[in-house]
Structure formats: C-alpha cells, structure tokens
Structure 1
Amino acid sequence: MELFPPIPLAEWRDTKETLHRFAQVVGKIRLAASVRRNHWWNVPFRLTGRGTTTSPMGQVDGNPIFTIDFDFVAHRLVVSSLDGREISFPLAGRSVASFYDAVMEALATLGVRTRPALARPFDLPDSGRPFGDDTEHATYDPVQANRYWRVLSQVASVLEEFAAGYSGKVSPVHHFWHTFDIAHTRFSERHVPQPARTDPVTREAYSREVISFGFWFGDDTFPEPAFYAYTAPEPAGLPDDPLEPATAHWLDRGASHLAVLRYDDVRAETDRRAAVLAFYESAYRAGARRAGWDLEALACPGGVTDPGLRPHGHGDAVAG
C-alpha cells in the first residue's frame, strides 16, 4: 500500500466538512464522559485497525462504561457497552442532524445518559448552529473517508517512531476532533504563566513549555494537507534555524512561526518516511536549542533510555 497517497483537500472537502462535524459530536460526548487528564489528553481520539475510537469512558459519571468507534472500513459508527451490547449504523447518507439523533438514540438504548454540554460545532463557521439543526452537511464518500483514515494511520506510525527518540514527558499520538489534526507533543517542566484573559482550553494545553508535531488535512486558511511543528512559547530567533528537507519552511503567523512541510512535497521525496522524520527532528532541535533544553539528557535513541541496552554498531539490543 502506498505510503502517503494523494489526498487533495479539493477532492474531499464536502466529505471532510461532514466528517469533521460527526467527529465533533462524538468528541463532545467523550469530553463529557471521560476523566479529565492533564493538557486535555482525555479529549482526543485514538486510532484502531479499522478507524478511530474514543477509548472506554463512563463509570465515573454514573454511566455504564461505553465506547464509540468510527469504522472506516465498513463505514459505520459503533456504540458498545461493557456488557457486550452494541448498536451500529451507517455513516453514509446522513446529515449531521440525523447523525446526532442516531448517536443520542444509541446511547439512550444502552442506558447512557451523557449529553454534550454544548451540542454545536467548536471553532467552525457554523458554531452557532446546533448539531440537531444541521441538514446542510450530509456528504460522505466512503472511498475518501477510508483514505483519510489510512493517511491518519500512516502519519501516526511515523509520529510513534519519532516519539521514541525523547525520554521526557510526552503526549500520546492522538487525533484531535476539534481541529481535525493528529499530533504528538514534547514537554519541558518549565511552567508558562498565562495572561488572565486566556481561555481555559489554551491555559491547560500550554501550561508548560512545549514543542508539538503533527499533520492536518487543510482548511480555508491553508488549503492543502501538510506536516507541521511549533514551539510554544516561541523562543527568539527560531525562524532563523534551517529545516529539513529543503522544501520545508517557517510560516509567519504574526505572533509566532509554524514549521511547515507540504504533503505533496513529501510525496515527491524518494524516501517519504525519512523526509517526515527529518522534518520533525529539525524542527525539534531548532526549538529545543533556542529554548535551552538539554538535548543530550532527553535523548532516547531507538526508544531505549539505558545506554547499556542500546545496540552497538549494527547489532540489535536483545533482552533475554
């Protein structure tokens, strides 16, 4: 199977807009029914062998333990409870309104009383319209939805490989339903005071110094898929540092800069995986050096923290 197949935004924009809102419906249920974790790590989705999952949730709020999975192979939403009961329905042929109603009906049938606190989109152009009123977004192309999941899975695998090289505090590799990207974040222990006016989501997400790495599918502000990285807060001189490969660049966002590597530029590389890993590593080293992180102390070559277990030469470390 081709690594990083073509997925131009223009070809699946309508499906993406519908699927993004489907994801927000489920994501807001996840937010309401899960135990809060530092930096909102309880909120994103994880990938599965067939799509994405909320992971098990419930119980702490008095509800049964339940899970909601998107299956992008059979193109169904699956709502299941710990007692083995399961309800599923097709994703195709539904508006956001009918999807929302079907999800809430499935939860009620399984005895789950959780409801989204704000049942409307977050940070989207129609954020004032309730999910239950959205009959506009109703496009679901199974081929494009499956490709979205395959690209997510491939990027996640590269991010997992990149994550192995750092021994400090890190986030999981997870799929954010509000911004529709997949990301992995490295943290320092340096506390970052936030202005009083900063919203609660941002305050918790950036309470510590971070360098974050990810991929998004494109939107109206950047209408093409791309890999990205950023350091927050941004240290002085960051955009002066070179990025790899040569097609990567720093995008000026006014108050900060984003390291960007276009997806199509990666597709033009002979070794696509190596190009993405080089990009993430160059963005990390630029941010970490400028912010004064101890790169050597935080290094974890090949996912091994004990130097005595690291391979020598071309051999492999073996645990007997």
Structure 2
Amino acid sequence: MSNKWPRLDYLSWRETCSALHLYLQVVGKYRLAHTPWLNHSWNATFYVTPSGLTSSPIPDGPGIEIVFDFHEHSVIGSNGDGHRASFALGTSTVAEFHANFARLVSQLGGRPVFHGQPNEVADPVPFDEDHRERSYDREAVRNFHQALMAIDRVFKAFRTSFIGKSSPVHLFWGSFDLAVTRFSGRQAPVHPGGIPALPDNVAQEAYDREVSSAGFWPGGGGIDYPAFYAYAYPAPSDFRAASVQPDAAFWHEGLSEFIVPYEAVQTAADPDEALMAFLVSTYEAAADLGHWDRDQLECTHGQRGKVRELNAKVPEKAASSVSEEVEREDGASKGRYRIVVEGVEAEMTYSRAGTQLIIIDHTDVPAALRGRKVGERLVRQAVEDARREGVFIIPLCPFAKAQIERHPEWQDVLRK
C-alpha cells in the first residue's frame, strides 16, 4: 500500500471528477436496487482497494462485484460463476457509460434494473439522456486514487479507538465523499431534509442517531478545492467555536462544518498525523460538547498483531500524563495552567474579573497529547484552586465548559 500523499488540483480535473462522480452513481444505484437496506444507506457504498474502488458482492444473479480499476482505467465485473466482463474508462458521455454498464451486468447474468437519475447533484439529468461528452484525465484519476489510499489508511486507524457503533470507511456515491462516522448511541431529532435530489426519508433515516462524522471531498459542492470535513448531528451548542487541529482547520459558515484543506494535510511534515489530529479534535469537540459517554464508547488504538486489552480505554502513554505536575502562572488580570508531557506543552488560559471570579477562555491540547485526559487535568486543577481560594469560574472555553458539565462534582465552583 502506498503511503504517498499526491498533490490534488480540483480545478484542473473538475470535468473528469464530475464524470467519475456520475459513473459511480450509475453503479451505486445498481447496487442499491439489488441489496437489502442497511442502516444509514450502508448497503450502497463503495470501498477503497489497491486497484481502485469496489462495490463488494451484489446479490444479483450468480453474485456480481463491480470494480473501478484506476490502474487499468476500466470497469471490471466478475460473478460467482467465475466469469468476467469489462469496458474501458475514457472520454465519454454518461449515456454511453450507462449503456456499457447495463451490457456488462447482463453478460454476467444480472438484471440491470435500477433508478435512472442522479441524486445529490444540481439539475440532475437522467443517465440515458446525458449525452454531453466529458473528458477523462488518467493521471488525475491515479492521483485521486493514491490520495484515497492514504486517507483510507488514516480513517481506518482512527476507527480502531472507538468501541461503540461506527461506520465502515466507505465512499458515498451521492455526495462523492469518503467518510467514517461515530455514533453516540442516542436517538437524534428528525432531520429536516432538503438535500438536493435526495428523498427526505433517506436523509432522515441516515441521521436518526446522534453522529460525529468526518470525511473527504475531492472538491465541488461549495468549495473549489479538495478538503476534509467534520460535523456533528445534531451540532452541540458552541461546537463551531471549538478549538480543533491542525492550525489550518476552520469553521465553514456556508457548510456548517469544520474544514481543513487537503493541501494543508498533504504538505504537512507528517500528513498522517495532521489528518489524525483533525479527526480526533473534531470528534472530541462533538463528544464533549454533546455529552457522549466517552468512557463507554472509546478504547485504545488498535495495534498490529495485538489483541485489544479489555477495559483499557486510555492509551498506555497516558500513564505518564497523570504523574506530571500542572503548573500555574497567575497574574493580576490574566493567568494560565500548563502541563508538559514528554516535552509537549498543553495550556489553559483564563482572565480575572475582580477578586472572586475567573473566566476560562481557551484550552490548547496539541495533537500528540489528545486522548490522554491532559485537558481534563488542567480543568480539574482550576476547579481545585477555585475551591481553595473561594472564587467562582465562568467557563467560556467550550472544552472547559463541557468538562465541567461532564463532572457534576465540579459544578459547585460555577457562578450561578
């Protein structure tokens, strides 16, 4: 498996990207029509492979698998009887792709019967009526696949530290994004729907449970560059104000999601670490502000060749964090708490509002220390000091606020 993170330029391959999106919709709709419904539309997605994307086996005829091979630039079908059929990917129209695919399915003993119009795109045109020729940039497709391989690897590593319900790492052909989703286990408010060319009941079924979701878009849909996204549904109060990593990450008002450009990850000293920091920090913001039962939902990161230890929810390295001292730098109007673990500093800052009140305004825990309860240590120390000094706390910082809300025994220091 390649560890390379290629450069991606959405504007230079936008036409090919749009074509590939629609081709995946054709095949995805075939899979959707022939598989039993699985929660959150998981029965219709694609999965990254070393050669491209696969549908996995579809229960039609003798059983059919469809692969988009981005090395050979072809669509390859195989069935349970050992037969194969294929056709080339290249400059074409959606109508031609649709006809070629229908023939391939028939050759493999399947029934090419499925809904014939795209979803989640503006001004959808039925597949068999879309005769506009679209280019196919082979090099751009190879780079896209190489990026998917790298992203898939990090997403899967991130998934290992969650023992609650989690989605596979899979590609949705409607929104054309590779995604991974975590669930709190609680029911969510009914989704309002309104997604273009997508039935409301599909959106409502997809979001019937509380989620923290992250993914990757190659571009389009409101942004003209490839990017990673993260959102929570329903979004907790103050979620948009949460401190997330890496530094290039930001809250996109138009999308109501956190975004970090792919380029910021790709050019980082350690792209895997930069992406993991985004995944972890946005999840922690959603889970803490949403009052998820993290102790019951999380576990240690998976290790190669090693069985997960039961009830071991905190990474082994976290043991060093509990032995480190929290230091306080207190001034007349401002101050901060800091802790240094293995040479990495985390801090929480505050301001004084008179002699009886401090306002916690920011917490910064670097990616290397996330998941090790370092931020919790900082808040706990502030609570203990407030009790000893007879002062109250206003936690304006979303992280500190969430921590105090998770610990009812700390709430005696809150200003009523």
**Considering the TM-score relative to the shorter chain, is it more than 0.5?**
yes
Residues 184-195 of structure 1 mapped to structure 2, 5 A cutoff: 184-194=180-190
- Is 1:158 the equivalent of 2:154? yes
Q: 117, 121, 126: which one pairs with 1:124?
A: 121
Q: Give the letter for the 1:283 counterpart.
A: T
Aligned residue for 1:185, secondary structure, equals strand
Q: Could you say which structure has the larger radius of gyration?
A: 2
Amino acid across the alignment from 1:187:
F
Distance in 1 (CA, whole Å) between partners of 2:185 and 2:28 is: 28
Distance 2:132 2:313 in 1: 57
Residue matched to 1:40 = 41
Gaps of 5+ in 2: 195-199, 303-307, 319-416
Q: Distance in 1 between matches of 2:48 and 2:316?
A: 34
Residues 14 and 308 of structure 1: CA distance in aligned 2, closer, same or farther (over 3 Å) = closer
Q: What's the CA shift for 1:300?
A: 1.2
Q: Quick one: which of 77, 80, 94 aligns to 2:78?
A: 80
Q: Which moved more, 1:27-36 or 1:289-298?
A: 289-298
* Structure 2 CA distance for partners of 1:220 and 1:204, relative to 1, 3 Å: closer
Opposite residue 183 of structure 1, the aligned amino acid is: A
CA distance in 1, matches of 2:154, 2:9: 20
For the 8 Å contact 2:193–2:203, the answer to whether it is kept is no
Distance in 2 of aligned mates of 1:148 and 1:170: 25
Q: What is the CA distance between 1:92 and its match in structure 2?
A: 1.2
SS in 2 for 1:218: coil
Q: How far apart in 1 are the matches of 2:153 and 2:248?
A: 22
User: In the alignment, is the contact (CA less than 8 A) between 1:164 and 1:302 conserved in 2?
Assistant: yes
Q: One-letter code of the match for 2:152?
A: A
Q: CA deviation at 1:3?
A: 2.9
Change (3 A) 1:267 1:110: closer
Quote the residue 1:241 is aligned against: 242
3-state DSSP class of the match of 1:77? strand
Higher relative contact order (CA 8 A, sep 6+): 1
Residues 22 and 96 of structure 1 are in contact (CA less than 8 Å); yes or no, is this contact kept in structure 2? yes
Would the aligned equivalents of 1:77 and 1:91 in 2 still touch at CA under 8 Å?
yes
Matching residue's letter, 2:130: D
The equivalent residue for 2:93 is 95
- Corresponding residue for residue 104 of structure 1: 102
- Mapping 1:1-320, distance limit 5 Å: 3-59=4-60, 63-117=61-115, 119-127=116-124, 129-194=125-190, 199-253=200-254, 257-303=256-302, 304=308, 306-307=310-311
**Structure 2 residue identity aligned to 1:175:** L
Deviation at 1:64?
Answer: 2.6
Q: Shift of residue 305 of structure 1? A: 5.3
Distance in 2 (CA, whole Å) between partners of 1:39 and 1:140 is 31
Letter in 1 for 2:237: A
**Structure 1 residues 309 and 240: alpha-carbon distance in aligned structure 2, compared to 1, 3 A threshold:** closer
Q: What number of residue pairs does the alignment pair up?
A: 307
The whole-number CA distance in structure 2 between the counterparts of 1:297 and 1:11 is 46
Distance 2:30 2:93 in 1: 18
In 2, the alpha carbon distance for the partners of 1:65 and 1:175 equals 21
Q: Distance in 1 between matches of 2:248 and 2:54?
A: 34
CA distance in 2, matches of 1:175, 1:311: 29
Bigger drift between 236-245 and 262-271 goes to 262-271
- Which segments of 5 or more consecutive residues in structure 1 lack a partner in the other structure? 315-320
Distance 2:252 2:86 in 1: 42
- Distance verdict in 2 for CA 1:69–1:159, change over 3 Å: same
Residue 309 (structure 1) shift: 11
Cα contact 1:211–1:232 (8 A) shared by 2: yes
CA, structure 1 residues 277+19, in 2 after alignment: closer, same or farther (shift >3 Å)?
A: same
Cα deviation, residue 220, structure 1: 4.9
C-alpha distance in 2, partners of 1:97/1:166?
42
Structure 1's 189 and 232: CA in aligned 2 closer, same or farther, altered over 3 A?
same
> CA separation of 1:264/1:108 partners in 2, compared to 1, >3 Å: closer, same or farther?
same
| Deviation, structure 1 residue 135 | 2.1
Give the Cα separation in 2 of the matches to 1:203 and 1:107. 31
Q: Partners of 2:87 and 2:148 in 1: how far apart?
A: 23
| Cα RMSD (Å) | 2.1
Query: What is the alpha-carbon distance in structure 2 between the residues aligned to residue 285 and residue 205 of structure 1?
Result: 22
Paired residues of 1:32 and 1:114 also in contact (CA < 8 A) = no
Residue 69 of structure 1: how far off its partner (Å):
0.8
